[in-house]
Structure 1
Amino acid sequence: MKRLLLICWIAACAWPAWAQDKVVVDGNAPDRIVNMKVSLWLPPTHPLVPATKAWADDIEKQSGGTIRMTIFPSEQLGKAFDHYDMARDGIADVTYVSAGYQPGRFPIAADALLPFLIKDGRTGTLAVDEWYRKYARTEMKDTYVCFAFLHDPGTLHSKKKIVLPSDLNGMKIRPAGSTISDMVKMFGGTNVQTSAPEARDAIERGVADAITFPWGSLILFGIDKAVKYHIDAPLYTALFTYNINLDRYNALSPGQRQVIDDHCNQDWAARISSSWIDFETAGRVKLKADPGHEVYPLTAEQLGEWKKSLRPLHEAWAAAVRKSGGDPDAVDADLKAALKKYQAGL
């Protein structure tokens, strides 16, 4: 008996360092405690941060306390543009990736970024998460893609009224991403690259005349103080993914991987984005009620002119997918089918 206890004691002392000398017994299979770093480039006041905390807390609960996540907001671990590579290289274990931040890198995902395509973030998230799962495993193969989601559509906010594509000619605009940047250039405008916290100052100083931005975030960053006119139409949205380092995921026990899988589904994509969507929607309501702002819809004719003028943008997207070895017709048909299924198309 003493010899058996000695053997057990030696085995316990020889347990590798990464196990942190702690195990949780689930049946006959001990699970080591794993600490994971979650990197977000948004400030703590952004609604996505507490939503991610709720997601992480539920993972810890369902794993019996063996998966513990610490959230690092505000680019503490790296710049927003680097978050895909941070997940790939293990700088963080889970990262928040904006597919449009690196032009040309994720050409399939860019289909969801085309203007006047998706009418709202809630149904759009359901459609886009279902659609992109088929393609993410090849387009983002260096990581484990947890889910995809959208923010509620943003629009053009400006110092002068804009109703037609031709109105952008000669304007200086801060774009939301590479797709909107291409749109601005196509219509004769100039892109002004500046971060969200710097955008208000850029507009007030005349460096920019307009910005494409979601509604609630416009108020959060104080940009509403610098613009007066707002197109009341879903111009664009952005596709985001949560990406997990592959080595970290594969090193988990089967039970722990199942917990992660159970939190990397369409339901959690909707739950993560829900409070953010509500936040952006509330911003639109607030600005519409403010007499100092003019929030105006586009007529059917004006919207038709925008869509007609944007066809070259879709053709450029298709060419990029073909260049990467993909089939743009099949990709686009799959997206349109998903949007129709969830009644998310504009």
Structure 2
Amino acid sequence: MKFTKLTTLLASAALAVTGTVAMAADYTLTISSWAPPTHGINAKMWPKFVEMVEEATDGKVTAELKLGIAPPPAQMDLIMDGAADASIIFHGYQPGRFVVTKLIELPGYEGSAEAASVAYWRAYEKYLAQADEHRGVKVIALHTHGPAQLHTSSPVTSLDEISGLKVRIPGGVGGDVGTALGATGIQVPAPKVYETLASKAADGVVMPFESRKGFKLTEVAQNVYEMPGGLYRGSFAFIMNEDTFADLPEDIQKALEEKVFGEPLSREIGKIWDEIDGIGRAETEAAEGNAINAASEADLEKFSAIAADIREKVIAEVAGTGVDAQAAYDMIKSEMAAY
């Protein structure tokens, strides 16, 4: 999709993520996003992206945010087709399309979402990009959410109680973990979790703490079963239409590549996820009738064995793509530990 001169978009520019009409800008990006308006993705991440883009280009490029153009699984094709210029995708929504991205989702990593996101980008540049799983779009950032925990309407206080529950679990490693724990997986996009729980179509969901506020889980899943380090981490990419980027002047392309895209943006998004996870925890602690149940030492030991089996399986799966999966995993783990 071509960038459109802002002077021809006087009305729609008022919807810019920054909330202002940046009349000095020469180009406007159209951002497609699927999360609720108040979710941290839209309230904090995209505004940070726009701030970084405007600063790097001296205000020549800005962006406007549009919600509800397409459901989450359709965002990759939406950007490839040029229906929007940029979007965020969750890799687990498209099973089979993304394999190497499962490496960052593995349970057992120690560190923040910021540390994970930086490590992810570095491993992507060195190892994972060669799988070319994002062909057709330009990857401008990679990040993870915080450790995913189990959120349920009825209290869960041990790992064994998960078996037989109907649980909304995304694809990717989250699905592998759900199967290993004996849960009956229900796959619905994140924006549908509230109604899925409210209608009793599921007993719970596995999501990071930010969802307590971002998807109002304090109202429909009052209990959290917390596993230190999480049951998995979700993998996301910020992507851009290739023609849109190619149509930009070379000096602007260079500025974006050097100051925004890649590790700088990945770091900032991961940092924001840590922030909104903290907000979600605080919301839970303050909400009447909500409880956080910590996993016992026995459960930690049991889950450690489950996680080891899943890691072995995923590393073998990623190695099947031709990527040096063990080296990439070792790099992510060491980068996070040293961050």
Residue 44, structure 1, aligned to residue 33, structure 2: no
Partner of 2:247: 251
Aligned sequence identity (%): 22
Q: 1:204 to 1:140 in 2, by over 3 A?
A: closer
Q: Distance in 2 between matches of 1:203 and 1:49?
A: 23
Residue 286, structure 1, aligned to residue 278, structure 2: no
Residue 295, structure 1, aligned to residue 283, structure 2: no
More moved, 181-190 vs 159-168: 159-168
Instruction: Return the match for 2:325 from 315, 318, 328.
Output: 328
Q: Distance in 1 between matches of 2:3 and 2:171?
A: 39
Partner of 1:117: 109
Instruction: Return the match for 2:235 from 222, 236, 239.
Output: 239
Partner of 2:161: 167
Poorly superposed stretches of 4+, deviation over 6 Å: none
Partner of 1:199: 193
Q: 1:294 to 1:65 in 2, by over 3 A?
A: closer
Q: Where does structure 1 lack aligned partners over 5 or more consecutive residues?
A: 1-16, 23-31
Partner of 2:218: 224
Alignment of 1:89-104 (within 5 A): 89-104=81-96
More moved, 120-129 vs 166-175: 120-129
Aligned-residue Cα RMSD (Å) equals 2.8
Q: Which amino acid is the alignment partner of residue 316 of structure 2?
A: A
Tell whether the 8 Å contact from 1:104 to 1:320 is kept in structure 2 after alignment: no
TM-score (norm 1): 0.80
Cα deviations across residues 186-237 of structure 1 (Å, max 9, x unaligned)? 3322112234444334334432111112223223433222333312332322
Cα deviations across residues 19-77 of structure 1 (Å, max 9, x unaligned)? 8699xxxxxxxxx94332221111221222243134224423442443232221x332x
1:264 CA drift (Å): 0.9
Q: Distance in 2 between matches of 1:193 and 1:55?
A: 29
Q: Distance in 2 between matches of 1:18 and 1:204?
A: 41
Q: Where does structure 2 lack aligned partners over 5 or more consecutive residues?
A: 8-24
Q: Distance in 2 between matches of 1:243 and 1:287?
A: 32
* Partner SS for 1:68: strand
Partner of 2:21: none
1:103 CA drift (Å): 1.5
Tell whether the 8 Å contact from 2:56 to 2:260 is kept in structure 1 after alignment: no
Cα deviations across residues 303-336 of structure 1 (Å, max 9, x unaligned)? 1210202333223312321332223222212222
* Partner SS for 2:140: strand
Q: Distance in 1 between matches of 2:64 and 2:242?
A: 18
Q: Distance in 1 between matches of 2:63 and 2:287?
A: 41
Partner of 2:138: 144
Q: Which amino acid is the alignment partner of residue 44 of structure 1?
A: P
Cα deviations across residues 139-184 of structure 1 (Å, max 9, x unaligned)? 3243221111222223001234435443222111011433222222
Instruction: Return the match for 1:153 from 147, 151, 172.
Output: 147
Tell whether the 8 Å contact from 1:108 to 1:331 is kept in structure 2 after alignment: no
1:272 CA drift (Å): 3.2
Partner of 1:211: 205
Q: Distance in 2 between matches of 1:297 and 1:127?
A: 27
Partner of 1:60: 54
Partner of 2:20: none
* Partner SS for 2:188: coil
Partner of 1:311: 308
Q: Distance in 2 between matches of 1:144 and 1:298?
A: 40
Q: How many residues align?
A: 315
1:255 CA drift (Å): 0.3
Q: 1:19 to 1:160 in 2, by over 3 A?
A: closer
Q: Distance in 2 between matches of 1:89 and 1:118?
A: 38
Residue 182, structure 1, aligned to residue 176, structure 2: yes
Q: Which amino acid is the alignment partner of residue 38 of structure 2?
A: T
Instruction: Return the match for 1:80 from 56, 62, 72.
Output: 72
Tell whether the 8 Å contact from 2:113 to 2:273 is kept in structure 1 after alignment: no
Q: Distance in 2 between matches of 1:89 and 1:18?
A: 14
TM-score (norm 2): 0.82
Q: Distance in 1 between matches of 2:210 and 2:141?
A: 23
* Rg larger in structure: 1
Partner of 2:119: 127
Q: 1:19 to 1:181 in 2, by over 3 A?
A: closer
Q: Distance in 2 between matches of 1:125 and 1:341?
A: 13
Q: Distance in 2 between matches of 1:201 and 1:183?
A: 23
Q: Distance in 2 between matches of 1:62 and 1:290?
A: 41
Q: 1:293 to 1:87 in 2, by over 3 A?
A: same
Tell whether the 8 Å contact from 1:156 to 1:210 is kept in structure 2 after alignment: yes
Q: Distance in 2 between matches of 1:65 and 1:291?
A: 45
